[in-house]
């Protein structure tokens, strides 16, 4: 029987590469399109080493409409998972047009190609950032979105969600699944895939990894005067392998329910920055150098997923723990040749 064929835009990136592995292991055929702006071609070798299958790769920029059309003419895809985009919050404030061009312009190109080639299933990487400053720290999908968004990156995610809803209204054949990720961390248990941004890291775990490897002298904790038990901010950290499996569940269900589906992918449990520091130190057996500095602009005290809708509709929930995520991160660092300080 012919396998269901899925195009992953941004598929050599952190979440895309882990999703490629889980999809291949679940019997799907995967092809990857990426311009390697924030990932490396070696991800393909690592996917092949883990799964025994090297996905076909297109080195293409999603903004390049004519080449994108060729990919779709060749590919005959059954569905697309759209990871490709820019994601550095602070950079989006400095370069809003670039963020709108890549994230929104690129998505419009993609949707036009899908429409022209009768590919009607799309799963989109959205973010908890669309909730803005929610009234409750526990987010359910029915909360209002798009209010009080602190930066252009967040607005691109919100606008793309709206564009996808408009396209679904205009064309009843389109099936849209919006996945709102909380804070993805961790690495593949093999140590072959993990988070390895080409640019200066902005997020907590990539910075923790650089501190542990001695490339940054200490972690700056942004504020310990929040209204949380230990004063540091709380987030919902989800192991990237659990997140990747959430995509497999979404692929399996797309088209079987309402035309547009939105799911939070998170654990439902919040952890503070201080708890992350402690969990990493416990796993590495070494103290992680850190100091408390002032708050970072735009940070919320606490943000956590209510994942019950995904659990009910996708029969998916997270299985891996924070200790698993820290163990896998350290294993990945060591496989990269890092000597933990
Ligand atoms: P990532 O940077 O590792 O992956 C994104 C991939 O997109 C990269 O491989 C990059 O090279 C590629 N890309 C960027 N611009 C492109 C372009 N113009 N054409 C083709 N490819 C391009 O990031 P990730 O953490 O794997 O995130 C994947 C998606 O999930 C992104 O859309 C991101 O906004 C979203 N997301 C991530 C997080 C997170 O914390 N990691 C949270 C919420 C949502
Ligand atoms: N933090 C530090 N020091 C650092 C980096 C981060 O203390 O050097 C703290 C932050 O203040 C925050 C927590 O660690 O309290 C997590 O910060 P991240 O930057 O890792 O993640 P955010 O929750 O700010 O944002 C992330 C993604 C966004 C996404 C959002 C959804 O970067 O793209 O999760 O919740 F939208």
Helix (H) or strand (E) holding 227: none
pLDDT at 137: 85
User: In testing the pocket of ligand 2, which one of 154, 299, 302, 305 has its CB within 8 Å of the most ligand atoms?
Assistant: 299
Q: Is 264 helix (H, G, I), strand (E, B) or coil?
A: strand
Cβ atoms of 236 and 322 within 8 Å: the answer is no
Ligand positioned closest to the Cα atom of 218: 2
pLDDT at 298: 86
Helix (H) or strand (E) holding 50: helix 42-51
Q: Report residue 23 CA to chain centroid gap.
A: 15
Q: Is 259 exposed, middle or buried (0-12, 13-18, 19+ CB in 10 A)?
A: middle
Atom number, ligand 2, closest to the C-alpha of residue 221? 7
Catalytic residues: 153
pLDDT tens digits for 6-21?
999 999 999 999 999 9
The model carries a pTM of: 0.98
Q: Is the shortest distance between the CB of 65 and ligand 1 below 6 Å?
A: no
296: left (phi over 0), alpha (psi -120 to 50) or beta: beta
Tally helices (H) and strands (E) across the chain: 12, 15
pLDDT tens digits for 103-144?
999 999 999 999 999 999 999 999 999 999 888 889 999 999
d(CA 326, CA 154): 27
Long-range Cβ pairs for the range 64-68 (8 Å, 24+): 64/109, 65/109, 65/112, 65/113, 68/33, 68/109, 68/110, 68/113
CA of 329 relative to ligand 1 center, distance in Å? 19
pLDDT tens digits for 279-320?
999 999 999 999 999 999 889 999 999 999 999 999 999 999
Structure token digits, residue 186:
């961790």
Q: Is the shortest distance between the CB of 57 and ligand 1 below 6 Å?
A: no
Res 95 pLDDT > 90:
yes
């Amino acid at each position: 029987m012919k396998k269901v064929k899925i195009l992953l835009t941004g598929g050599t990136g952190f979440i895309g590469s882990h999703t490629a592995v889980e999809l291949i292991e679940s019997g799907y055929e995967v092809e990857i399109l990426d311009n390697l702006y924030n990932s490396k071609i070696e991800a393909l070798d690592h996917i092949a080493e883990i799964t025994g299958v090297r996905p076909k790769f297109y080195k293409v920029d999603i903004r390049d409409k004519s080449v994108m059309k060729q990919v779709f003419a060749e590919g005959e895809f059954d569905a697309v998972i759209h990871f490709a985009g820019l994601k550095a919050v602070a950079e989006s404030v400095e370069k809003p047009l670039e963020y709108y061009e890549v994230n929104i312009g690129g998505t419009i190109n993609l949707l036009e190609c899908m429409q022209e080639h009768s590919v009607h299933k799309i799963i989109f990487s959205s973010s908890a950032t669309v909730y803005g400053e929610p009234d409750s720290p526990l987010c359910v999908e029915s909360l209002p979105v798009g209010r009080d968004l602190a930066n252009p990156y967040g607005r691109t995610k919100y606008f793309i969600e709206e564009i996808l809803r408009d396209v679904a209204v205009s064309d009843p054949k389109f099936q849209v699944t919006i996945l709102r990720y909380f804070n993805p961390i961790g690495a593949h248990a093999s140590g072959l895939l993990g988070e390895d941004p080409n640019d200066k890291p902005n997020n907590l775990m990539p910075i923790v990894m650089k501190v542990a490897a001695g490339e940054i002298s200490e972690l700056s904790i942004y504020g310990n005067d929040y209204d949380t038990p230990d004063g540091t901010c709380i987030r919902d950290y989800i192991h990237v392998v659990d997140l990747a499996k959430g995509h497999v569940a979404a692929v399996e269900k797309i088209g079987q329910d309402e035309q547009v589906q939105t799911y939070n992918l998170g654990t439902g449990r919040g952890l503070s920055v201080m708890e992350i520091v402690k969990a990493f130190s416990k796993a590495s057996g070494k103290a992680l150098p850190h100091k408390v500095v002032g708050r970072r602009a735009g940070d919320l005290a606490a943000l956590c997923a209510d994942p019950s809708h995904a659990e009910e509709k996708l029969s998916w929930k997270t299985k891996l723990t924070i200790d698993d995520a820290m163990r896998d991160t350290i294993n990945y660092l060591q496989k990269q040749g890092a000597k933990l300080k």
